[in-house]
Structure 1
Amino acid sequence: MLYLEDIKVGDRFISREYEMTLEEIKQFAQAYDPQVFHLDEDQAKNHPIFQGLAASGWHTAAVTMRLWTECFPVANGLVGSESSLRWPRPTRPGDLLHVEVEITAIAPSKSKTDRAIVTYVTQALNQHGDVLFISTTKIIVFKKEPLAG
Protein backbone atom coordinates (compact mmCIF):
# COMPACT_ATOMS: atom_id res chain seq x y z
CA MET A 1 0.00 0.00 0.00
CA LEU A 2 1.18 3.50 -0.84
CA TYR A 3 1.18 6.40 1.60
CA LEU A 4 1.94 10.05 1.03
CA GLU A 5 5.63 9.52 1.84
CA ASP A 6 5.82 6.84 -0.87
CA ILE A 7 4.89 9.05 -3.82
CA LYS A 8 6.27 12.13 -5.54
CA VAL A 9 5.39 14.30 -8.52
CA GLY A 10 6.41 12.51 -11.70
CA ASP A 11 5.83 8.99 -10.38
CA ARG A 12 4.18 6.73 -12.97
CA PHE A 13 2.17 3.56 -12.59
CA ILE A 14 1.21 1.20 -15.42
CA SER A 15 -1.49 -1.47 -15.21
CA ARG A 16 -1.91 -4.87 -16.75
CA GLU A 17 -3.94 -5.27 -19.96
CA TYR A 18 -7.67 -5.90 -19.98
CA GLU A 19 -9.61 -7.14 -23.02
CA MET A 20 -12.92 -5.46 -23.84
CA THR A 21 -15.00 -8.32 -25.24
CA LEU A 22 -18.08 -7.88 -27.42
CA GLU A 23 -20.17 -9.84 -24.91
CA GLU A 24 -19.06 -7.69 -21.96
CA ILE A 25 -19.61 -4.46 -23.92
CA LYS A 26 -23.17 -5.49 -24.73
CA GLN A 27 -23.88 -6.70 -21.18
CA PHE A 28 -22.69 -3.43 -19.66
CA ALA A 29 -24.63 -1.38 -22.20
CA GLN A 30 -27.80 -3.37 -21.67
CA ALA A 31 -27.60 -2.80 -17.93
CA TYR A 32 -26.32 0.79 -17.77
CA ASP A 33 -26.20 2.58 -21.15
CA PRO A 34 -28.70 0.95 -23.55
CA GLN A 35 -28.00 2.90 -26.70
CA VAL A 36 -27.99 1.31 -30.14
CA PHE A 37 -24.32 2.08 -30.88
CA HIS A 38 -23.36 0.02 -27.80
CA LEU A 39 -25.74 -2.87 -28.54
CA ASP A 40 -26.25 -3.51 -32.26
CA GLU A 41 -23.29 -3.90 -34.64
CA ASP A 42 -25.38 -3.37 -37.80
CA GLN A 43 -27.08 -0.19 -36.63
CA ALA A 44 -23.84 1.11 -35.11
CA LYS A 45 -22.15 0.99 -38.55
CA ASN A 46 -24.37 3.87 -39.66
CA HIS A 47 -23.79 6.05 -36.62
CA PRO A 48 -22.30 9.42 -37.74
CA ILE A 49 -19.69 9.46 -34.99
CA PHE A 50 -18.92 5.87 -33.98
CA GLN A 51 -19.30 4.11 -37.37
CA GLY A 52 -19.28 0.77 -35.57
CA LEU A 53 -20.03 -0.74 -32.20
CA ALA A 54 -18.38 1.12 -29.34
CA ALA A 55 -18.24 0.42 -25.63
CA SER A 56 -20.03 2.84 -23.35
CA GLY A 57 -17.66 5.52 -22.12
CA TRP A 58 -18.83 4.62 -18.62
CA HIS A 59 -17.78 1.01 -19.24
CA THR A 60 -14.32 2.23 -20.25
CA ALA A 61 -14.27 4.40 -17.10
CA ALA A 62 -15.30 1.43 -14.93
CA VAL A 63 -12.55 -0.79 -16.36
CA THR A 64 -10.09 2.08 -15.90
CA MET A 65 -11.15 2.28 -12.23
CA ARG A 66 -10.50 -1.44 -11.82
CA LEU A 67 -7.04 -1.13 -13.35
CA TRP A 68 -6.29 1.99 -11.24
CA THR A 69 -7.00 0.11 -8.04
CA GLU A 70 -4.61 -2.66 -9.09
CA CYS A 71 -1.65 -0.55 -10.23
CA PHE A 72 -1.98 2.42 -7.85
CA PRO A 73 -2.69 0.81 -4.45
CA VAL A 74 -3.17 3.82 -2.20
CA ALA A 75 -3.61 3.09 1.52
CA ASN A 76 -7.20 3.75 2.60
CA GLY A 77 -8.35 3.56 -1.04
CA LEU A 78 -8.65 5.91 -4.00
CA VAL A 79 -10.89 8.44 -2.28
CA GLY A 80 -11.65 11.01 -4.93
CA SER A 81 -12.46 14.65 -4.37
CA GLU A 82 -12.62 15.81 -8.00
CA SER A 83 -12.21 14.49 -11.53
CA SER A 84 -12.55 15.63 -15.13
CA LEU A 85 -12.99 13.05 -17.88
CA ARG A 86 -12.65 12.86 -21.66
CA TRP A 87 -13.16 10.08 -24.18
CA PRO A 88 -11.10 11.10 -27.25
CA ARG A 89 -11.72 7.81 -29.13
CA PRO A 90 -14.22 5.00 -28.79
CA THR A 91 -13.33 1.71 -27.16
CA ARG A 92 -14.00 -1.17 -29.55
CA PRO A 93 -14.64 -4.89 -29.05
CA GLY A 94 -11.30 -6.67 -28.81
CA ASP A 95 -9.39 -3.61 -27.58
CA LEU A 96 -6.73 -4.42 -24.99
CA LEU A 97 -6.79 -1.60 -22.48
CA HIS A 98 -4.08 -0.65 -20.07
CA VAL A 99 -3.87 2.34 -17.77
CA GLU A 100 -1.00 4.76 -17.23
CA VAL A 101 -1.11 7.05 -14.20
CA GLU A 102 1.22 10.00 -13.54
CA ILE A 103 1.33 12.06 -10.35
CA THR A 104 1.22 15.74 -11.35
CA ALA A 105 0.79 17.59 -8.03
CA ILE A 106 0.80 17.06 -4.28
CA ALA A 107 -0.83 19.72 -2.10
CA PRO A 108 -0.56 19.15 1.66
CA SER A 109 -3.73 19.95 3.56
CA LYS A 110 -3.56 23.25 5.42
CA SER A 111 -5.97 22.14 8.14
CA LYS A 112 -5.25 18.39 8.46
CA THR A 113 -1.55 17.58 8.64
CA ASP A 114 -2.04 13.83 8.16
CA ARG A 115 -3.00 14.11 4.46
CA ALA A 116 -2.64 15.82 1.10
CA ILE A 117 -4.57 16.19 -2.12
CA VAL A 118 -2.75 14.29 -4.84
CA THR A 119 -3.52 15.12 -8.46
CA TYR A 120 -2.83 12.60 -11.19
CA VAL A 121 -3.54 12.16 -14.88
CA THR A 122 -4.76 8.79 -16.07
CA GLN A 123 -4.83 7.57 -19.63
CA ALA A 124 -6.47 4.35 -20.78
CA LEU A 125 -4.81 3.23 -24.00
CA ASN A 126 -5.54 0.40 -26.40
CA GLN A 127 -3.08 -2.03 -27.97
CA HIS A 128 -2.25 0.54 -30.69
CA GLY A 129 -1.37 3.27 -28.17
CA ASP A 130 -4.57 5.22 -28.90
CA VAL A 131 -5.85 7.17 -25.88
CA LEU A 132 -9.45 6.10 -25.27
CA PHE A 133 -10.01 7.75 -21.92
CA ILE A 134 -8.18 10.49 -20.06
CA SER A 135 -8.89 11.99 -16.68
CA THR A 136 -7.38 14.39 -14.21
CA THR A 137 -8.28 13.31 -10.71
CA LYS A 138 -7.68 14.57 -7.19
CA ILE A 139 -7.62 12.11 -4.32
CA ILE A 140 -6.92 12.27 -0.60
CA VAL A 141 -3.73 10.44 0.37
CA PHE A 142 -2.77 9.93 4.00
CA LYS A 143 0.62 9.87 5.67
CA LYS A 144 1.81 6.69 7.35
CA GLU A 145 0.57 6.37 10.89
CA PRO A 146 3.27 6.98 13.49
CA LEU A 147 4.72 3.79 14.91
CA ALA A 148 3.35 2.91 18.32
CA GLY A 149 6.10 3.01 20.90
Structure 2
Amino acid sequence: MFYLEDIKIGDHFQSREYEMTLEEILQFAKMYDPQVFHTDPEKAKDHIIFQGIAASGWHTGAVTMRLWTECFPVAHGLIGTESSLRWPRPTRPGDKIRVDVEIVSITPSKTKFDRAIVTYVTQAKNQFDDVLLISTTKIVVFKRDSDQSMD
Protein backbone atom coordinates (compact mmCIF):
# COMPACT_ATOMS: atom_id res chain seq x y z
CA MET A 1 0.00 0.00 0.00
CA PHE A 2 1.20 3.46 -0.87
CA TYR A 3 0.97 6.38 1.53
CA LEU A 4 1.65 10.03 0.80
CA GLU A 5 5.25 9.66 1.98
CA ASP A 6 5.83 6.90 -0.58
CA ILE A 7 5.08 8.91 -3.72
CA LYS A 8 6.57 11.93 -5.45
CA ILE A 9 5.94 13.95 -8.59
CA GLY A 10 7.27 12.07 -11.60
CA ASP A 11 6.69 8.58 -10.17
CA HIS A 12 5.43 6.05 -12.74
CA PHE A 13 3.39 2.90 -12.21
CA GLN A 14 2.61 0.25 -14.84
CA SER A 15 0.00 -2.46 -14.82
CA ARG A 16 -0.20 -5.93 -16.25
CA GLU A 17 -2.00 -6.53 -19.55
CA TYR A 18 -5.71 -7.29 -19.78
CA GLU A 19 -7.18 -8.74 -22.98
CA MET A 20 -10.55 -7.46 -24.17
CA THR A 21 -12.57 -10.29 -25.67
CA LEU A 22 -15.45 -9.92 -28.11
CA GLU A 23 -17.73 -11.78 -25.71
CA GLU A 24 -16.91 -9.40 -22.85
CA ILE A 25 -17.32 -6.32 -25.06
CA LEU A 26 -20.76 -7.49 -26.20
CA GLN A 27 -21.86 -8.45 -22.69
CA PHE A 28 -20.80 -5.11 -21.15
CA ALA A 29 -22.43 -3.12 -23.96
CA LYS A 30 -25.71 -5.02 -23.77
CA MET A 31 -25.89 -4.24 -20.06
CA TYR A 32 -24.57 -0.66 -19.94
CA ASP A 33 -24.10 0.93 -23.38
CA PRO A 34 -26.45 -0.75 -25.88
CA GLN A 35 -25.45 0.97 -29.11
CA VAL A 36 -25.03 -1.06 -32.32
CA PHE A 37 -21.32 -0.26 -32.71
CA HIS A 38 -20.83 -1.96 -29.32
CA THR A 39 -23.41 -4.77 -29.61
CA ASP A 40 -23.70 -5.87 -33.26
CA PRO A 41 -20.49 -6.80 -35.14
CA GLU A 42 -22.29 -6.82 -38.53
CA LYS A 43 -23.97 -3.40 -38.18
CA ALA A 44 -20.80 -1.97 -36.62
CA LYS A 45 -18.91 -2.61 -39.89
CA ASP A 46 -20.90 0.19 -41.56
CA HIS A 47 -20.60 2.72 -38.72
CA ILE A 48 -19.31 6.09 -39.93
CA ILE A 49 -16.66 6.37 -37.18
CA PHE A 50 -15.89 2.92 -35.80
CA GLN A 51 -16.14 0.74 -38.95
CA GLY A 52 -16.24 -2.34 -36.75
CA ILE A 53 -17.08 -3.42 -33.25
CA ALA A 54 -15.65 -1.19 -30.53
CA ALA A 55 -15.78 -1.55 -26.77
CA SER A 56 -17.76 1.04 -24.90
CA GLY A 57 -15.49 3.77 -23.60
CA TRP A 58 -17.01 3.09 -20.19
CA HIS A 59 -15.89 -0.53 -20.48
CA THR A 60 -12.36 0.61 -21.28
CA GLY A 61 -12.65 2.93 -18.26
CA ALA A 62 -13.81 0.10 -16.01
CA VAL A 63 -10.88 -2.10 -17.08
CA THR A 64 -8.56 0.85 -16.54
CA MET A 65 -9.96 1.22 -13.00
CA ARG A 66 -9.24 -2.45 -12.30
CA LEU A 67 -5.67 -2.09 -13.54
CA TRP A 68 -5.18 1.14 -11.52
CA THR A 69 -6.16 -0.61 -8.32
CA GLU A 70 -3.63 -3.36 -8.99
CA CYS A 71 -0.63 -1.24 -9.97
CA PHE A 72 -1.25 1.79 -7.74
CA PRO A 73 -2.61 0.41 -4.44
CA VAL A 74 -3.15 3.46 -2.27
CA ALA A 75 -3.82 3.07 1.46
CA HIS A 76 -7.56 3.50 2.12
CA GLY A 77 -8.33 3.12 -1.61
CA LEU A 78 -8.38 5.28 -4.72
CA ILE A 79 -10.75 7.93 -3.37
CA GLY A 80 -11.44 10.12 -6.37
CA THR A 81 -12.34 13.78 -6.17
CA GLU A 82 -12.23 14.66 -9.87
CA SER A 83 -11.41 13.09 -13.23
CA SER A 84 -11.44 14.01 -16.89
CA LEU A 85 -10.99 11.51 -19.64
CA ARG A 86 -10.71 11.12 -23.38
CA TRP A 87 -10.88 8.15 -25.71
CA PRO A 88 -8.56 8.96 -28.64
CA ARG A 89 -8.99 5.50 -30.24
CA PRO A 90 -11.53 2.74 -29.91
CA THR A 91 -10.75 -0.42 -27.97
CA ARG A 92 -11.18 -3.47 -30.19
CA PRO A 93 -11.67 -7.17 -29.49
CA GLY A 94 -8.28 -8.73 -28.83
CA ASP A 95 -6.69 -5.51 -27.58
CA LYS A 96 -4.38 -6.12 -24.66
CA ILE A 97 -4.77 -3.09 -22.42
CA ARG A 98 -2.12 -1.93 -20.00
CA VAL A 99 -2.08 1.19 -17.88
CA ASP A 100 0.71 3.70 -17.36
CA VAL A 101 0.24 6.13 -14.46
CA GLU A 102 2.36 9.23 -13.79
CA ILE A 103 2.10 11.39 -10.66
CA VAL A 104 1.98 15.03 -11.83
CA SER A 105 0.97 17.02 -8.74
CA ILE A 106 0.73 16.68 -4.96
CA THR A 107 -1.23 19.39 -3.14
CA PRO A 108 -1.31 19.13 0.67
CA SER A 109 -4.65 19.89 2.27
CA LYS A 110 -4.78 23.31 3.93
CA THR A 111 -7.20 22.12 6.61
CA LYS A 112 -6.57 18.38 7.07
CA PHE A 113 -2.88 17.79 7.67
CA ASP A 114 -3.02 14.02 7.33
CA ARG A 115 -3.69 14.07 3.56
CA ALA A 116 -3.12 15.63 0.15
CA ILE A 117 -4.72 15.68 -3.26
CA VAL A 118 -2.59 13.71 -5.70
CA THR A 119 -3.09 14.27 -9.42
CA TYR A 120 -2.04 11.62 -11.88
CA VAL A 121 -2.27 11.12 -15.62
CA THR A 122 -3.20 7.69 -16.91
CA GLN A 123 -2.75 6.33 -20.39
CA ALA A 124 -4.41 3.03 -21.24
CA LYS A 125 -2.58 1.57 -24.23
CA ASN A 126 -3.01 -1.50 -26.37
CA GLN A 127 -0.36 -3.96 -27.54
CA PHE A 128 0.63 -1.57 -30.37
CA ASP A 129 1.13 1.37 -27.94
CA ASP A 130 -1.99 3.07 -29.30
CA VAL A 131 -3.51 5.24 -26.57
CA LEU A 132 -7.09 4.14 -25.98
CA LEU A 133 -7.88 6.26 -22.92
CA ILE A 134 -6.22 9.27 -21.30
CA SER A 135 -7.37 10.58 -17.96
CA THR A 136 -6.29 13.13 -15.43
CA THR A 137 -7.50 12.14 -11.99
CA LYS A 138 -7.33 13.65 -8.51
CA ILE A 139 -7.45 11.40 -5.47
CA VAL A 140 -7.09 11.79 -1.72
CA VAL A 141 -3.91 10.18 -0.38
CA PHE A 142 -3.25 9.89 3.34
CA LYS A 143 -0.05 10.09 5.33
CA ARG A 144 1.11 6.92 7.03
CA ASP A 145 0.36 8.19 10.56
CA SER A 146 -3.26 8.94 9.55
CA ASP A 147 -4.02 5.24 10.22
CA GLN A 148 -3.74 5.89 13.95
CA SER A 149 -6.17 8.80 13.83
CA MET A 150 -8.73 6.64 11.98
CA ASP A 151 -8.92 3.86 14.60
Give the TM-score category using the shorter length: over 0.9
User: Which residue pairs with 1:23 in the alignment?
Assistant: 23
Moved over 3 A (4+): none
Which one-letter code corresponds to 1:48 in the other structure? I
User: Which residue pairs with 1:8 in the alignment?
Assistant: 8
Percent identity over the alignment is: 75
| Normalised TM-score (structure 2) | 0.96
Matches within 5 A, 1:126-137: 126-137=126-137
Root mean square deviation of aligned Cα: 1.1
Matches within 5 A, 1:56-135: 56-135=56-135
1:86-124: CA deviation from partner (whole Å, max 9, x where unpaired):
000000000000000000000000000000000000010
Consecutive unaligned residues of structure 1, counting only runs of 5 or more, are none
Consecutive unaligned residues of structure 2, counting only runs of 5 or more, are none
| Normalised TM-score (structure 1) | 0.97
| SS of alignment partner, residue 139 of structure 1 | strand
1: distance between equivalents of 2:144 and 2:18?
Answer: 32
| SS of alignment partner, residue 117 of structure 1 | strand
Matched length: 148
**How far did residue 145 of structure 1 move?**
1.4
- Quickly say closer, same or farther: Cα 1:60–1:107, change in 2 above 3 A: same
- Quickly say closer, same or farther: Cα 1:119–1:147, change in 2 above 3 A: closer
